[in-house]
């Protein structure tokens, strides 16, 4: 059995490392050339408060975004609902909801939905540039279906499939993407953790719809025909994430988890992530205070900065044990500072059933 587990571990590590070469092959000339950038948006408050630095330490349903391998640490059932004002003052509302369920002693499945509401936008034409002929509502949705498994006390891995959908009134794009992750735990008290994740790998996407169709008149015959415009396909923002964490056990009730992460982006600048999570637990409740920082090239340059989601992050959560079964009911909050866009506030509720 020990040899079998070692063989599984080696095969998974080799496979992940081989895939990383393709992901890290991007260069700065490709910055901003990918589509479906909503795949890079973390909708969850607890992990976003750490700047997504908890690649190695994430657990539960939120691991579906950070590192799917952490899903294997779900006790029984976990439900989440989060909402936030995406890009601060931009007027975009973000919603996310999901459920994680343990289906066996080793396996956990999850399904979650992420959606952005851009509000109503006036329909305009060349002849009516001021609108007045109705409105349309752009939509972006991501549906996640994930599975994680515990292979041993030290090795955990998972895979996640995403269905991506973007639409306006007469144009729509739909595609799929895959995530994979692995997590390794060591130390006398399981205080050291390492994680690696490969995200947003999939085929190119292409927009389709009546919005690319034009009416044309042939002057010689007077006939009217419909012409479809050719549409360029776009690639997904694939990335490789590597992380490590260490638990500083202050006493039986207090600990600090230090997180370090590195993201190799194919279509954006690479990023370094730092995060710290202070946790205090008692018999009836738990309190966590979190802070993080995301660094990338040109972060201090107003003219050359290419990403608003860099810089400091912060947040907290409170979980209380309720009922005879002592199920956990939690509330969470995070703040991300998005430069000229303002502050992104994310609020949420978590229910963990035993």
Which pLDDT tens digit goes with each residue over 331-354? 999 999 988 888 999 999 999 998
Tell me how far apart the alpha carbons of residues 316 and 79 are, in angstroms, rounded to a whole number.
Answer: 18
pLDDT at 220: 61
What is the 8-class DSSP label of residue 295? E
Using the predicted structure, report yes or no on whether residue 25 has a pLDDT greater than 60.
no
Radius of gyration of the chain, Cα coordinates, nearest whole angstrom: 22
Most confident of 2-6, 124-128, 311-315: 311-315
Give the pLDDT band (50/70/90) at residue 130: confident
Cα–Cα separations (whole angstroms), residue 227 to 209, 215, 234, 289? 12, 6, 22, 57
Cα–Cα separations (whole angstroms), residue 354 to 74, 78, 121? 10, 9, 45
What is the 8-class DSSP label of residue 286? E
Most confident of 48-57, 221-230, 308-317, 324-333: 48-57
* 243 strand-pairing partners: 195, 261
Over residues 149-165, the mean pLDDT reads: 95
Domain coordinates in residue numbering, the chain:
2-211+238-353
Is residue 236 within 8 Å of residue 205, measured between CB atoms? yes
pLDDT at 24: 42
Most confident of 13-22, 227-236, 277-286, 300-309: 277-286
Over residues 102-130, the mean pLDDT reads: 89
Of residues 136 and 145, more confidently modeled: 145
Copy the structure tokens of residue 43: 């909708």
Cα–Cα separations (whole angstroms), residue 344 to 116, 317, 353? 14, 17, 29
Using the predicted structure, report yes or no on whether residue 23 has a pLDDT greater than 50.
no
> Could you tell me which of 230, 241, 166, 228 has the C-alpha nearest to residue 200?
241
In this structure, the strands spanning 192-201 and 224-228 are: unpaired
Copy the structure tokens of residue 295: 């660094």
Using the predicted structure, report yes or no on whether residue 19 has a pLDDT greater than 80.
no
Over residues 99-111, the mean pLDDT reads: 96
Provide the sign of the torsion angle of the four alpha carbons 99, 103, 104, 106, taken in this order. negative
Provide the sign of the torsion angle of the four alpha carbons 302, 307, 313, 318, taken in this order. positive
159 Cβ contact list (under 8 Å, min separation 6): 68, 146, 147, 148, 178, 179, 180, 181
CA angle 165–65–106, rounded 5-degree value = 115
Please say whether the structural domain 2-211+238-353 has been given the CATH code 1.10.10.10. Answer: no
Neighbours of 290 (CB within 10 A): 28
Give the pLDDT band (50/70/90) at residue 27: low
Tens of pLDDT, residues 213-255: 776 666 666 676 667 777 778 888 999 999 999 999 999 899 9
- Overall size of the chain counted in residues: 354
pLDDT at 222: 62
Tens of pLDDT, residues 202-213: 998 888 877 777
State the alpha helices, DSSP H only, in 138-293.
Answer: none
Tell me how far apart the alpha carbons of residues 241 and 293 are, in angstroms, rounded to a whole number.
Answer: 16
pLDDT at 121: 82
User: Which pTM does this prediction carry?
Assistant: 0.85
Task: Give how far the C-alpha of residue 236 lies from the chain's centroid of Cα atoms, to the nearest Å.
Answer: 13
């Amino acid at each position: 059995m020990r040899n079998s587990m070692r063989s599984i571990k080696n095969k998974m590590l080799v496979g992940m490392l081989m895939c990383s070469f393709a992901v890290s092959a991007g260069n700065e000339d490709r910055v901003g050339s990918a589509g479906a950038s909503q795949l890079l948006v973390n909708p969850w408050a607890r992990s976003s408060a750490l700047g997504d630095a908890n690649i190695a330490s994430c657990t539960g349903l939120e691991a579906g975004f950070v590192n799917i391998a952490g899903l294997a640490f779900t006790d029984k059932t976990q439900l989440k609902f989060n909402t936030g004002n995406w890009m601060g003052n931009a007027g975009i509302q973000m919603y996310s909801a999901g459920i994680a369920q343990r289906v066996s002693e080793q396996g956990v499945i999850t399904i979650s939905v992420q959606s952005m509401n851009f509000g109503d936008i006036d329909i305009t034409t060349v002849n009516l540039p001021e609108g007045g002929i109705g409105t349309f509502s752009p939509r972006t949705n991501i549906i996640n279906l994930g599975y994680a498994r515990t292979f041993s006390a030290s090795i955990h891995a998972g895979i996640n499939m995403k269905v991506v959908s973007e639409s306006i009134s007469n144009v729509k794009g739909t595609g799929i993407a895959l995530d994979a992750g692995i997590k390794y735990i060591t130390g006398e008290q399981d205080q050291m953790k390492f994680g690696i994740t490969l995200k947003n790998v999939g085929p190119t996407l292409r927009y389709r719809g009546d919005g690319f169709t034009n009416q044309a008149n042939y002057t010689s015959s007077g006939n009217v025909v419909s012409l479809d415009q050719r549409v360029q396909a776009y690639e997904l923002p694939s990335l490789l994430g590597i992380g490590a964490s260490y638990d500083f056990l202050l006493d039986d009730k207090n600990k600090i988890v230090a997180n370090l992460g590195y993201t190799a982006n194919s279509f954006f600048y690479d990023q370094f992530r730092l995060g710290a999570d202070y946790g205090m637990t008692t018999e009836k409740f738990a309190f966590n205070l979190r802070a993080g920082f995301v660094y990338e090239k040109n972060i201090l340059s107003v003219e050359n900065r290419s990403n608003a989601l860099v810089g400091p992050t912060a947040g907290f959560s409170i979980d209380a044990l309720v009922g005879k079964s002592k199920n956990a009911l939690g509330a969470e909050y995070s703040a991300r500072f998005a430069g000229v866009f303002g502050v992104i506030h994310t609020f949420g509720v978590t229910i963990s059933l035993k």
